Amino acid sequence: YQTLRLILGDQLNASHSWFKKKDKNCLYLIAELRQETDYVRHHVQKVAAFFQAMDNFATALQKAGHQVIHLTLDQTSDYQDLPDLLAQLCKKHKVAHFEYQLPDEYRLRKQLKALSLGKVEITAYETEHFLVPEEEISKLFPANKAIRMESFYRKMRKRFNILMEGDEPVGNRWNFDTENRKKIPASELRNIPQPLIFKNDIRPILDRIKKHKVKTIGQCSDTLLWPTTRQQSLKLLKFFCDYCLSQFGTYQDAMTANSPHSWSLYHSRLSFAMNSKMLSPGDVINKAIKAWQDNPKDISLAQIEGFVRQILGWREYMRGMYWANMPDYANKNELKASNKLPAFFWDGNTRMNCMKQAIDQSLEYAYAHHIQRLMVTGNFCLLTGIAPEQVDEWYLGIYIDAIEWVEMPNTRGMSQFADGGLIASKPYTASGNYIQKMSDYCSGCQYNVKLKTGETACPFNSLYWHFMNRHRKRLENNPRISMLFKGWDKRENAEKQGIIKHANALLKDLNSL
């Protein structure tokens, strides 16, 4: 072969210009690698989903007439790492050119940038996945600068002419958050759609994971519910447009424990399909907009805007913030958080019902929706000052969609405020009150959301005030927070001391919560 082309597990983009032409002299490589299964302890469904999707992609490429080698752990486990494997393959196939698509993750980009294969010429290509081209990232996202998602998002709406009428947003408003974000009323619970799930047989992959002693977390059956082909991804997108989009914005922040479909609600669950690049963000946005245009009676503008904002806004923005600030970002710990992640994050064994629901669900499905990640588990870690590297490790491992470029800015930045405000203008903190407002978790909890002190008091309540007081100097000048301190200062001293004392006791023994 003249050319060897590497396709990483999250580069399953069938529309890439590489595949426009068939070339007998070009060999594509798709390989399961120990360096990828081991850089963090992943959820077993996540490893299986990537391996199955890679296998399917290799088969699809072969069917389309390309030359492909698909190597499993059985064939690659003797190689030290990716460069070692590439060097051997270049030698074996007498390759003159090695080509790869730029990885989205710093770790891999660095590894491939440092690659040297003797006389073999090396070329890097764009992945052609994101809406914002690679070379524009540094212009839109200067390093170490706080950039707000909202202004980036409005720029992108104009630039790509999405939901626009001339220079104005459709409906003359950019943001419909006030209409959206409602709790699900008990009477609505039975209307939550049964999620579309797939039944991908992953037994051979599970056997390999076991045989090679790959350490994983979470549960898995013989069939995987996540999409592992482009066809399945498109089916899931259609299901979302048909059954979930009409309520997406309204209930995007809601949480419930009282439905068989509590884990999926009205969320798209497309993050794995997108992050593996089986689906492009452009396709997802266009199909959702078409569904809205075809059904304006069922799907309101607030719903489609809320959805487009997540993908055109948040997703592209997080990628920009990641690249603007790596590698320093991985060490940011502005609040000097250093506590240990409690053991119940790995088994859900806690009396806090909100935490139990979010963690159990994550272990069962490798999935939790945004507000569970941000305002339940993330909020808990923020309030209790868990070391950001431990928080990152948990999020990067457990979720089906967790790849560092999107996991880290969400976790370290948005959720833990470890970047000192590059992403969030203030820490996303909340007491039990918020969780009660957005969910029905509290009614099934051993703790009492109304109490701040005492054995049965909701831990979030005192921990919230402990956090606010420990970081008072930094926070009280923020106009969005100073009001809260005014309220706190008006309380009786004995009450304030009682709350802080209670929180101190909790912080000493987080494992027992």
Positions touching ligand SF4 (CB under 6 A) are: 352-354, 432, 435-436, 441-442, 445, 447, 449, 458-460
| Binding region for ligand FAD (CB under 6 A) out of 137-145, 199-207, 269-277, 483-491 | 269-277
Task: Please give the size of the binding site for ligand FAD, defined by CB under 6 A.
Answer: 27
- Closest approach of Cβ 157 to ligand SF4, in Å? 36
Question: Is residue 268 involved in binding ligand FAD (CB under 6 A)?
Answer: yes
Q: Of 459, 442, 474, 456, nearest to 508 (Cα)?
A: 459
Which phi and psi angles does 205 have, rounded to 5°?
-70, -45
Q: Give the nearer residue to ligand SF4 in terms of CB position, either 278 or 442.
A: 442
Q: In the set 7, 270, 324, 398, which binds ligand FAD (CB under 6 A)? A: 270
Neighbours of 487 (CB within 10 A): 8
Looking at residue 134, its amino acid is E
Question: Is residue 369 involved in binding ligand FAD (CB under 6 A)?
Answer: yes
Question: Is residue 274 involved in binding ligand FAD (CB under 6 A)?
Answer: yes
- Closest approach of Cβ 255 to ligand FAD, in Å? 12
C-alpha 115/C-alpha 319 separation (Å) is 24
**Helices (H) and strands (E) in the chain — how many of each?**
24, 11
Question: Is residue 49 involved in binding ligand FAD (CB under 6 A)?
Answer: no
Q: For residue 281, with 0-12 CB atoms within 10 Å meaning exposed, 13-18 middle and 19 or more buried, which class applies?
A: buried
Q: Give the nearer residue to ligand SF4 in terms of CB position, either 53 or 255.
A: 255
Q: Using alpha carbons, list the distances in angstroms from residue 107 to 112, 276, 423, 463.
A: 9, 17, 22, 35
Taking residues 410 to 449 in sequence order and writing x for each that binds ligand FAD by CB under 6 A, - otherwise, the string is xx--xx----------------------------------
| Binding region for ligand FAD (CB under 6 A) out of 33-41, 116-124, 165-173, 393-401 | 393-401
Q: Give the nearer residue to ligand SF4 in terms of CB position, either 29 or 355.
A: 355
β-bridge pairing 42-43 and 216-217? parallel
- Closest approach of Cβ 432 to ligand SF4, in Å? 4
Which phi and psi angles does 187 have, rounded to 5°?
-70, -20
Q: What letters, b where the CB count within 10 A reaches 16 and e where it falls short, cover 362-393?
A: bbebbbbbbbbbbbbbbbbbbbbbbbbbbbbb
C-alpha 408/C-alpha 10 separation (Å) is 16
Tokens 């209307």, located at residue: 191
Question: Is residue 406 involved in binding ligand FAD (CB under 6 A)?
Answer: yes
Question: If contact means CB under 5 to 8 A according to the sort of partner, which of ligand SF4, ligand FAD, none does residue 267 touch?
Answer: ligand FAD
Q: What letters, b where the CB count within 10 A reaches 16 and e where it falls short, cover 417-443?
A: bbbeebbbeebebbbbebbbebbbbbe
Q: Give the nearer residue to ligand SF4 in terms of CB position, either 224 or 445.
A: 445
β-bridge pairing 26-31 and 67-71? parallel
Looking at residue 101, its amino acid is Q
Q: Give the nearer residue to ligand SF4 in terms of CB position, either 473 or 508.
A: 508
| Binding region for ligand FAD (CB under 6 A) out of 130-138, 206-214, 346-354, 405-413 | 405-413
* Contacts of 362 by beta carbon, 8 Å cutoff, 6+ apart: 43, 218, 368, 372, 377, 398, 399
Question: If contact means CB under 5 to 8 A according to the sort of partner, which of ligand FAD, ligand SF4, none does residue 452 touch?
Answer: none
Question: If contact means CB under 5 to 8 A according to the sort of partner, which of ligand SF4, ligand FAD, none does residue 447 touch?
Answer: ligand SF4
| Binding region for ligand FAD (CB under 6 A) out of 102-110, 271-279, 357-365, 462-470 | 271-279
Q: In the set 320, 342, 378, 413, which binds ligand FAD (CB under 6 A)? A: 378
Residues numbered 284 to 343 that lie near ligand FAD (CB under 6 A) are 310-311, 314-315, 318
C-alpha 388/C-alpha 257 separation (Å) is 28
Q: In the set 93, 97, 235, 370, which binds ligand FAD (CB under 6 A)? A: 370
Question: Is residue 271 involved in binding ligand FAD (CB under 6 A)?
Answer: yes
Q: Give the nearer residue to ligand SF4 in terms of CB position, either 322 or 465.
A: 465
Q: Of 62, 117, 128, nearest to 95 (Cα)?
A: 117
Which residues bind to ligand FAD, rule: CB under 6 A? Answer: 267-271, 274-275, 310-311, 314-315, 318, 369-370, 373-374, 378, 395, 399, 401-402, 406-407, 410-411, 414-415
